[in-house]
C-alpha cells in the first residue's frame, strides 16, 4: 500500500479568500476540489472556470471530485484544464471505462467514486483502468457529516481486490475524516484521505495535516 496522503477539501475553506486558503495547505499532497451541480447532489459549489483559476494559483496538485450528472460529457474538460486527478461518480457515468481512458489520454489520473450504498464488486474488473477508487464515507453533497462506519467493509473489500490485482490503485475516502476516523479508514485499507473541517477548522491547517498524516500512516503500517 502506498504512502498516506492528505487532500484537504476546499469545501471547508473561506471562498472569499480562496487563494490565501490554498497557501495555508501547502504541505498537503493535493487539494480536493468538490464540483457539485445541484443535480447529481442537492448542492451547488463551483464549476470549470473557478477550477481553472484554482489550478493557476494552487501550490499543490488538484484532486477534482466531480459530483455532477453527465460525467461522460463534462469530466474531460477538467483534465484539459491541467487538473492532476479527475474523479467521476460511477453512478453518473454511462461508459466508465471509456471515460477513464479518456481522462488518462488527456493527461490526468482517472478516479472513480462510489456512494456509500453502491457496491464495489461490479467495478472491480475495471481496476486496471483506474488510478484511484474513491469510496464515499458520507452521502455526497455536503461537508461536515459524520463518518459512516458501514462503509468500512467495502473499503476492506476494495483493498483486498487492489492488493490481489498487483495494481497501484489508490483507495481514497471522503467524508467525516478526523484524527479518530482516519485510523479506522486506514486500518481498513484506505491510503488517500479527504479532510475538510479537520484541516480548515484548525488555526494551523498545516499542523492538522501533519497530525492526520501521522495517524493515518501509523494505522496503515500496523495492518500491513
**Angle in degrees, 0-180, between the axes of helices 181-188 and 152-165, rounded to the nearest 10:** 40
**Rounded distance between C-alpha atoms, residue 193 and residue 182, angstroms:** 7
Going by the DSSP 8-state scheme, the letter that residue 164 receives in this structure is H
Give strand pairing partners of 87.
Answer: 65, 111
Catalytic hit among 29, 34, 63, 131: 34
**Angle in degrees, 0-180, between the axes of helices 71-80 and 96-105, rounded to the nearest 10:** 10
Catalytic hit among 29, 63, 131, 174: 174
Based on the residue annotation, tell me whether 14 is a catalytic residue of this protein.
Answer: no
Going by the DSSP 8-state scheme, the letter that residue 147 receives in this structure is P
CB 172 within 8 A of CB 135: yes
Based on the residue annotation, tell me whether 174 is a catalytic residue of this protein.
Answer: yes
> Edge-to-edge strands of the sheet including 85-89?
5-8, 192-195, 170-174, 132-136, 109-114, 85-89, 62-67, 31-36
Active site residues: 34, 174
Amino acid at each position: 500500500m502506498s504512502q498516506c496522503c492528505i487532500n484537504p477539501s476546499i469545501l471547508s475553506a473561506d471562498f472569499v479568500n480562496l487563494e490565501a486558503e490554498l497557501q495555508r495547505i501547502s504541505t498537503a499532497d493535493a487539494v480536493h476540489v468538490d464540483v457539485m451541480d445541484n443535480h447529481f447532489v442537492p448542492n451547488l459549489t463551483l464549476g470549470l472556470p473557478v477550477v481553472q483559476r484554482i489550478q493557476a494559483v494552487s501550490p499543490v496538485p488538484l484532486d477534482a471530485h466531480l459530483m455532477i450528472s453527465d460525467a461522460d460529457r463534462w469530466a474531460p474538460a477538467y483534465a484539459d484544464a491541467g487538473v492532476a486527478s479527475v474523479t467521476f461518480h460511477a453512478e453518473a457515468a454511462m461508459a466508465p471505462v471509456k471515460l477513464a481512458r479518456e481522462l488518462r489520454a488527456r493527461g490526468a489520473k482517472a478516479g472513480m467514486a462510489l456512494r456509500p450504498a453502491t457496491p464495489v464488486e461490479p467495478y472491480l474488473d475495471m481496476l486496471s483502468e483506474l488510478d484511484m477508487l474513491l469510496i464515499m464515507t458520507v452521502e455526497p453533497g455536503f461537508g461536515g457529516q459524520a463518518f459512516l462506519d458501514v462503509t468500512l467493509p467495502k473499503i476492506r473489500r476494495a483493498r483486498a481486490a487492489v492488493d490481489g490485482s498487483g495494481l497501484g490503485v489508490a483507495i481514497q475516502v471522503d467524508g467525516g475524516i478526523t484524527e479518530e476516523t482516519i485510523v479506522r479508514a486506514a486500518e481498513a485499507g484506505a491510503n488517500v484521505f479527504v479532510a475538510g473541517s479537520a484541516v480548515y477548522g484548525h488555526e494551523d491547517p498545516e499542523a492538522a495535516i501533519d497530525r492526520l498524516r501521522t495517524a493515518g500512516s501509523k494505522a496503515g503500517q500496523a495492518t500491513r
